[in-house]
Structure 1
Amino acid sequence: MTADKTPITVTEPDLALDKSFAAGSYEAGDTIEYTITINHSGSSTAAAYDLTVEDLIPEGMSYVNGSMTTSFDSLSITANDSGPNLSWTIEELAQAYDSSTPLELTYQVTIDADVRGSIELENQFGVNWYSQSGNVDEQREYSQSSSVILTTIPDLTVNDQLTNNNTPTISGTTNPEQAGNIVKVVVDGIEYQPVVDGNGDWEFDIPAGNELAEGDYTVEAEITDKAGNTTTAEGSLEVDLTEPEIDLDNDNIVTNNQTPIIGGTSNQPENSDVEVVLTDEDGNEVFSGIIQTDTDGNWSIDSSTEGSFSGGIVELA
C-alpha cells in the first residue's frame, strides 16, 4: 500500500486594498474625493464573495450626499450612505478584477468650516470577504483594514502695521503645531526666517543695516509643514518718518462771539486724530476731545456744541 503524495491546492481569494485622494493642499471648506481600490493579488486563486466595505468618516469632515460611485455597473453592489459610516456590499468579485482592472469605489467629503490648519484627519476603512458564497462549513472569512491621513494646510497671518520706526518688528501667527518651524518672510526684497514659538506666534526685528526708507511695503510670508503643505500670506507695512505738522487758524484773535468755530490745518491724511483742549481765561478746561481731519488735513470744532466760553487758550496735540 502506498500513500498518494499529490499536493492539495487550497483555493482562496487574496485581495489587495488601497485608498487614496488627490495630492494637494487642503483647508476648511474644500471638497476631497476618496477612492477605495480593490483587486485580486497575484497569489489569489479564487473569487471573493459577500464583500463588505465599511468606511468611517472622521470628525471634521462631512459626506457629500449622493457622491458614492462605483467603476463597474455590471457588478451587484449595494451602497449605503444613510448612517455616519459608508458601506458597500458586493456579492462576488471574480478573479478577472486584478491589478489592471480593479474595482474602484469613490465618494466625496467636505472639510468642515470650523477645522483649523495643521490638523490631521484620519480616514479609516475595512473590507471583509469570504472564500465561498453563502453560509457553508468550508467558507473562510478574510479581512483587512487601513487608513489614510489628510493634514490641513497651516494657517498663516501677517500683522499689518503703521510705524515711525525704520527698523520695525514684523510679526504674525500660525498654528501651535508649527512650533519650531521657520517662516520665510520677505521685506523689501530681503528674506528673514523667524522661528514659530509654542503659541504659534512669530516675529523678528528689521536689523540695523537694513533700515527701511519711508514708504509702503508688502510683507510676504510662507510656511511649509512636515507633510509638505505650503501656505502663503501677505501683510501691509507703512513706514512714516515725517513729523506731523498742525496749525491753528486765526491765532490770538479777539472776538465777542461766545461760540466761535475753532479749526486749523495739518499735513496728516484723512481721519487722523487731533487732540484739542480749550481752557478759559481762568485756566478752567472747557472742552477736551479728539477731532479727525478731513480729506485735505483740515480740522475744526464748533464750540457752540460744547458750551460757550469767554476768552481762553487752545492747546493742540
Structure 2
Amino acid sequence: MMLARVADSLYWIGRYVERAEHMCRLSDVMLNATLDRTEAATQVARIALAAVGDSDAEAQNPYEAALALVLDREDEGSIATSLARARENARQVRDQITTETWERLNLIYLRMNDPNAERTFREGSQAFLHDTIADLHLFKGAADATMSHGEGWRFLLLGVYLERAQLIGGLLEVCFGEGRKRPITDHFALTSLLRMSCALEPYLRKYTADMQPRFILEFLLLDEDFPRSLRYCTAQIEEHLASLSRHFETMEATGPDRLAGRLRARLKYADMNEVQAQGASAFIASILDEGANIHRAVYENFVAYPLEQRLPA
C-alpha cells in the first residue's frame, strides 16, 4: 500500500501538469484572437480570461494578461507556478517516477525559470506556448511508457483526469452557463472554444463543419471517445479509483470510487434533451460539485485518513 504523502504528491503532479497545459492552450487561443479586430475576437479573449477565473475580464489587455498567466510566479494560478509545484512534488517522490518523466518535467521547469523567459515569450509567444504544450504531452507519454502501471501511475492519472474534468467543466460553464448575457453563435468564437478544449479536429470528424452550440456542448459533455469530454474523464476517474480502492479494505461506503461510479453512470446515460430541459448551467454545475466531492473523498480515504484506519487490528 502506497504512503499517503507519496500518493498526495503523485496526485498533485497530475493536477498541476494538466492545469499548466490547459492554461497554455487558453493563452494561445486568446493571443491568436487578438490578431483579429472583430467583436467575436474580443469575445474569445473574454471567455479565456473568465475561464481562468479573471473577474475583471472586460478590462484586461489580452497580451499582458497572457504574459502574466504564463510567467507571473507570484500568481497562484499561473503556468509557471503550476509547473514549479509539479516539479517540487516530483522532487519529493523522485524514487517513485522514472528518469524520463523527471527529466522532461525538469526541462519544462527550467525553461519557465530561465532569466530570458519573458524575452523569449515576447519574441514568439505562440512558439513558446506550443513548445510547452508539446513538452507536457511528452511528459505524459513518458509516464505512460516508462512507469509501472501500478498505484503511483494511477494516482498521477487520477489527478490528470480530475483536473481536466474541472477545467473543461469550468470552460463550459463560462460559455453556456446562466451568467452568459447572450449565447455564443459566431463561427469564430465557437471554433475558438473547440480549440481551447483541444477538440476542433475531433469535433469536425464527427459533425463536419456544422458549428452548432448544442452539438459542441453535447460533444464536450457526453462524447464517449473524446479524451477531454466530461463523460470520458469521469470514466477514467472511476476506473483508476476502482483499481486503487482494492488496496484499501477500510474504504468508506461513500468512498471516492462509489461517487465516481455514480457520476460516470449519470453522464453515460444522460440525454441531451433532458440536459437542456434541466438547464445546461445547472447540469454543468452539478458535475463540477460532484467532482469537488470526489476530490474531498480522495483526500479523506487516501491522504488524510486517521492512522488507526490503516493499522492492523
Q: Which has the higher contact order (CA 8 A, sep 6+)?
A: 2
Specify if TM > 0.5. Answer: no
Alignment TM-score, normalising by the size of structure 1? 0.21
In our comparison, the structure showing a higher alpha carbon Rg is 1
Identify, as 1 or 2, the structure richer in helix.
2
Q: TM-score, with normalisation over the residues of structure 2?
A: 0.21
